[in-house]
Structures are given as structure tokens and as C-alpha cells.
Structure 1
């Protein structure tokens, strides 16, 4: 009888130890998730697969999320979360696997995001996840925070697109003033062709070209940079549709914690518009973190500080659920 009792104890210890080892096992996989009727490619990376999920939604439209994540923007976060990078519909490896059979719309991408989040939560037996959206990705992140807050521990919006057409107007006026001050004839000529809202891809290209130059950034391949705007009409139309969103009107309240990451020099998604929206937004918890050295590209210019804010400022405020 005593031997049987000891055997049961040893067996229980072995099962517990085995389960615990599995729970703490690293994860580094590339998977497909069925969302929006197509297979969408994600990577899942973390030092402990039982940690909370953290979805990073990159900018664009049209940028590759897995490529962005592999630039090591989020390495420190992998110690505290299972970090998910996602190649969205018609981007990167998802595009190679199955081009979108439907016309690209904001609503389609919003639905993809919700279905992707729901599938991953089910797969990992979790109720909620952390979501970080950057630039175009903030459109999808705000959708999740606004429409499905029950699935979101906290939403972190990096370089948020709040009222983008107003931001574009402010930016264009500032660039024209800089061009006149510098007596830059090419900039004056090309910016004079730009209208807000943009009438075509060429106008969008001139705007982004001079924004990049005036911000002190380099354009590695001018030909490819131009082609993105002038030979990609579907993405240009999607960009314009997203720009019609005005969160100050459509989303005055969010029912999950929301944190703003704003570059002090950001004119692309204007920092003043972001600050004003933050001040008026109602949420159970909210925070505004300034990145003094950054413009629009916070994950590139200040990745260490971005991750530090998440780990030391935000994570301790959130009550996790099993």
C-alpha cells in the first residue's frame, strides 16, 4: 500500500515537471493562420511559450511585418511575451502563399485582424493579448481596441493615425515653407503639384519623398520608392480610405487600456493631433510617452526605449488573466 502511494506521488511529480518544462519551453515558429478566408503567415517568438501574446501590427499598407520584426525592434519583449509578427493580406509571405481574391478595403483588413487574434487566442488558450500598432497598423489596432476590447489587455499605438488628412495638410504646408526658406526649386515645383487629399499616386510620392528628405532620412532606391506609390493603385486606394478615418469623431471612448507612443518630431502622423486626441480620449487606463529623438519611425530610432516603456511602465499596470 505504501509503495503504491509513493509511486503515485512520484508519478504526479513527473507529470507536473513535464508539464512545467513544456510550458516554459521557448517558441520560435512560422505558422499559417486561417483569417478572412485565406492563409496568413505569422511568426511566434518568445523565451517562454506560456507568456502573454503580443501582436505587432506593422505600418504600410504593404509592408512586411515578419521582415520588420526581424530587424530586432522587439528582441527584449520576447523575454516577457510571445511576440507575433504578421505578414498581412497581400504582403510578404502571405501574398506568396495566396494573393487576396477580394478587393482590398479597410474593413477587410479589420476583419482579418479580428479573426487572426481570435484564432491565436484559442490556439494558446488565452483570453486576451497585448496589441501594438505602428502607423497604418494603428488603424487595425484601434479597430480591435474599439470593437473588441474584451480580447485586448492593452493597446499600444505607435505614431498613431488619428485624423490623417488633417495631418497631411499640416505637413504639406510645413514642407512648402521649408522649401521656400531653402530656395529649393525642385522641392517647390514638386510640392506645388500635391493636393490634399491626394489625387493620384504621383502626388503621394512627391509628398513622401520630400517628407523623407526634410526629416534627414535617405531613400535607398528612388525608383522602387516611387513605384510603391505610382504603380500600386490598390494599396494607394487603401491608404486613401484609411486616411478618411477621424478618430476624434468616431472613437471618443475605448474600453481597454490605451498607451500612446509619439515622436516629438513626427509630422507624418502629426504629434500635435496625437496629443490632442490623447487628452480627449476616455479609457480605463491611458498613458502618453514621448520619444524626443524620433519622428515617425520610433521602432527604428528608439527601439530600446520603446521596449523599456512596455516592460517597465505598461506591463506592471495590467492584470493578466489565465
Structure 2
């Protein structure tokens, strides 16, 4: 089964992201060939140095243009891929962009913040790390724009609401098409999970296309128990939108990293995972997000708990390699 959304959409993708086999990486995990890892290269999507959030933004930008908006307003951490890609999407669509980044401000702007400015976004950094301050500043900027005659469209953190996550449903259907064409039968899809939109969308999209692999989210920002509620709600919303019975969709499986260090903090196991993938396949992952899920895969595969054909979801975020992280 395929599905075509009827929501407004502004095209940012130029085709499917590649699905690549990782033979040397797989052999490093198990020289006896017990695991065959493939990677879904969302990092190679075409705008703003790539990343999975472009899929969400196709539908948020589409909704903004349909509503007559002239400005996108969103927020996130200072290394936010969603914020950088919102700036890129706004530039592509001819929309102004304002980004509210969690503070306090650093002595020198980080890599993502500099890219945000290069893309033309207005960048606002809060005085503290409080989420409430960030949310209040988003509302103040949107209100100021309205008072001056602007028409802002506000996107929630991560863009992972039922509008944006439609893009991830299509990603799940896309993956099902690719594995069928390659004759693969993956038993598991492993991805980093923060706001939960990608995991929820993949679950619904894969069920729609009858791909019955389990979807394991490694909770890289908040504890798995905390994230689960949001993913469950989003799966129910997306299932209703697509018209798939909730009972036909796989279980929401979330795990915590083997050695949780906190979001945006350096993680030695993630650094080792980054080096292993780079030195076996020439592929980089960011240390904040994707590498922590990769570290979980390495530990589980090395212990023999993950076997067979596996798809690893490379969410992008490569500018994170150049961010300064707390230790």
C-alpha cells in the first residue's frame, strides 16, 4: 500500500535519500558475518548540509505558504539541526526566518549558529537555558511581527507535530520501497530519537507499506520513559491521518543510551562510534545526536544482541562535529 498526503507541501527534497550497505563496518562488529548493517543517508538530503528534518519542513513550509505567512519562527538548542534546516528551507521558499536558540550565549557562536546567520535567519539567543524563557521569546517575536504587519508561522521545537511528521511517514514508505527493490528483509531499523516525530512517522509509514521490521529509537535527549508518551500520541494521530488501524502498527520501542551523558554533552562511546564508522566507511556522524544511537548499535551488536540485516537511520547534523560540547 502507498499513500499520498493531501496536506500542503513545498518540495525541498530532490528524491529519496540513499540506502547504502556498510560491509567493513559490519565486519568490524562481527567478523563472522552475523550482522549486515545498511545506512539510510538522510545526511545527504539536498539543503543546508542535509538532515531528516527537511522532510518535516516540506509540510510546515507548505502549511505556512497556504496560510499566507511571510515568516517562519521556531526554536531549539544552539546546535539544532531543525533550526538550521528551517533557515535553509525559508531561504529556498522566500520566507523570512527567526530562530530562538537556548542560551546562555557562548563567547563565540557555534558552527550551527554561524550557519543560521549565513542562511539569513534572525538569530535570538536566550539569557538562560530555561525552556520557559525560550517559549516566551518565541511568542514575543511572533507578536512583534504581527503588530508590525507581518504574518508569522510558528513551528514547534523539532517540527515534530502531526503536520511535520507526515514527512516521516513518507520516509517509512520510501524505505519499504528501497528494501523491496534490493531484496532486503531487515529485522530492525535503529535511529536516534529526541522529539519523536521521525520514529512515529517511520512506524506508521512502514506499517502502511507492510514493512514489518521493528523500529528502535535510542533516546538521545530525554529519558526513554519520558519520550514514549509523545511518540505514542503522535503514532495515534498519524495512523488516523493515513487511515491505518493502530493495531496494525508496530510497538513503540525506546531505549536509553548505554552510557547516558545528557543532550549536548560529550560521550566517549559516541566519539568511538564516530571514529569507527569514519575509519571503516568514510562516513561522518555528529556527536550530539546520531553518534549516540550508533554507539548503542555497536554495543548491542558486539554483544550478539542485534543480528541479521539492520538499517541505521543517519539523521544528519554534521555541523555538530564542529560544536564545543561540555564534558
TM bucket by the smaller chain?
Answer: 0.3 to 0.5
State the TM-score, normalized to the length of structure 2.
0.34
- Pick the structure with more helix per residue: 1
Larger radius of gyration: 1
State the TM-score, normalized to the length of structure 1.
0.34
